Every structure is written in structure tokens, then in C-alpha cells.
A = this chain, B = another copy of it.
Amino acid sequence: MTKIIIDAFGADEGPAMVARAVRMAREKRAFEACVVGPEASLSLLNDLDGVEILPTDEYVTNEEAPTFAIRRKKNASIVLALHRLNEVGDVLLSAGSTGALLAGGYFITKRIKGMERLCLAPLIPRENGGLLLADAGATMDTTPEMLLQFAQITALYAERALGRANPQIGLLNVGTEAEKGDKRTQETYRRLEESGLHFIGNVEARDILTAPIDVLIADGFAGNVALKSLEGAARTLTQILKGALLQSFKTKLGAVLIKDALKEAMEPFDYRGHGGAPLLGARKPLYKAHGNSSAETFALAILEALDFAESGVIQRITEASEEVS
């Protein structure tokens, strides 16, 4: 049975929420788990078969320098969880510091042979199916070679973990023509054209939410800017809309009339509909849950992480990497 290693620290709501999420996920499907965190908060799990508690009260915060913290805090939940993953686990899930997970990926899980860097590939929610953005900010100063590798592994993930046959790949750029962009992007365009992947060309940032693609390849800096710009615009416009709807009795009455239709129309964009994002390129599946996860969202992240583990993506990447080298 698939065994998931769960870092119980790091979520805003704390380890007790994680314990509730594990129970919720177990009601959906069978799996084994090792939950790393404070014993008292995890007592809810004591009666569950196949769920082991690895007790610790130490953890890495978002404020710490990740590489330093990973090396120094031997009993931090993420460090213990990563070692447990190496020993007996099939996938690791954490809502804690992305930097710590990344540093742990490099220094404890280690990279797949031939993979130069790791990439974070969150699903951007859209009306007609989400889009995987790789890299969303795990790696800075990427080379075209790294971006080509990100495209290869994210395409495999899209195909095997999300069930997208022959995933279509776009390259984030400042215009649609092949010669557009900075040197890195121009060279990456050429590499993608020759890659044998289903590369459909450049995608401008204004078309991210509508372009007919499954995977968007971007340098970690630009990818992070795109993702957070979309988030920021959505947040601001939602606040403006809410403010306008609460302005007077008249607008409040209007709000009642449009509420259901609006909620339904916005549903595909709800981040709570997705639990987290894979960190790709390490020797075992690493999965990042949102820091502000509710028990429902974290339970979803558990199910997504199990799918990731069972998809065989990492094994396939490892094989492909060995074929090349």
C-alpha cells in the first residue's frame, strides 16, 4: 500500500488540523501514513491502523534560512520526514516553508541523476481545466537546459498524474513570435522545438488563463511573477466587487440576486479546489500543500500526493534520464 510521509507542522491552522485531514482522506481511500509532529496534537490518529506517529516538537519556520535550518535542526519535522521518506515512504507532503522543502529536496532526497534543478509546478485554476506552471519560483537563474528538463518532467507529470494525454506545452514570453524575448527564452524556444514534446509556441502573460495548453514553461522568476500577479489581481478585484455589493440597501439586494450565479461562475478559479503542487526533479515525490490549508484542502492534498506517488512519474523520469546518460 502507498505510504505517505506527512509533515504536520507548517500549516497556519497547526498540526491538529493535519490530524483531522488525515482522517478525512482515510474515509476517501486506503493508504499508510507516517505523520511527523507533536504527539499531543496528533492523538486523534492513535486509533487508525497503518498510521504511525513520529513525534517531534521542532520545526523550520518560514523566516529561517532554509539550507541552514535543514542542516542544523536535525529533529525538525521536515528533516525527520524527509529521512523517513528515503527509508520507507512513497511520497512526502508538507504545508511548511517551501524553501525548507526545496533545500531538503536537494540535500536529503537528492536529485534524479541528470536533473540539474528542481521545479515547483502548481496548477493554475482556469475555466476549462487547470494549467501546470513550471517553474513557479523554485529555481532562479535557470538556463535553457534546465527549462527543457522542467518541460520534460512536467509534461510527464501532466500525463501520468493528471491524465492529460499528449500534453500541450507553451513557453511564457513577451510576444508570440519565435524571436521574441530575452536570450534565455529565445534559446529555450529553440530547444523546445527540437525536443519532441508537443510544443505549441510562446504564450503571452495576458493569455495564461485562456491559452489551449496543459503546461506553461517559465523561468522561476518570471513564473513566480505571473502566478502572483494573477493572484493579486484576483484578490483586488474580488475585494472591489465585495465593496461595491455592500455599498447600499439597493446593492445588497442586487447581491442576493446574483450570489449563486457568481459563486458558480467563480468555482473553477477557487484555489481551495486544489490541495497543493508537486516539487519535481527529486528522487522521490515531494508535494507542497498551501500554508493556509483548511482540513478539507489538506485532505485533498493528501489524495493528490498519493496520486503523484502512484502515477510512476518519478520512476519514468529516472528511466528517461538513464536512457539519455
Contact = CB atoms under 8 A, between A and B. Distances in A.
Interface of A: 127, 137, 140-141, 172, 174, 181-183, 185, 204-210, 218-222, 224-238, 240-241, 243-245, 247-248, 250-251, 253-258, 261-262, 264-266, 269
A260 to B, nearest CB: 8
Given A232-B205, A233-B229, A224 B174 contact: yes
Contacts of A231: 205-206
A208 B221 contact: no
Contact of A182 (B140, B206, B227): B140
Contact of A181 (B221, B247, B257): B221
15 contacts: A140-B182, A141-B182, A141-B183, A172-B225, A182-B220, A205-B227, A208-B232, A229-B233, A230-B233, A233-B234, A237-B237, A240-B266, A243-B265, A244-B258, A253-B254
Q: Which of A174, A185, A234, A256 has the most CB of B within 10 A?
A: A174
A206 B181 contact: no
Contacts of A224: 174, 205
A208 to B, nearest CB: 6
Contacts of A247: 261, 265
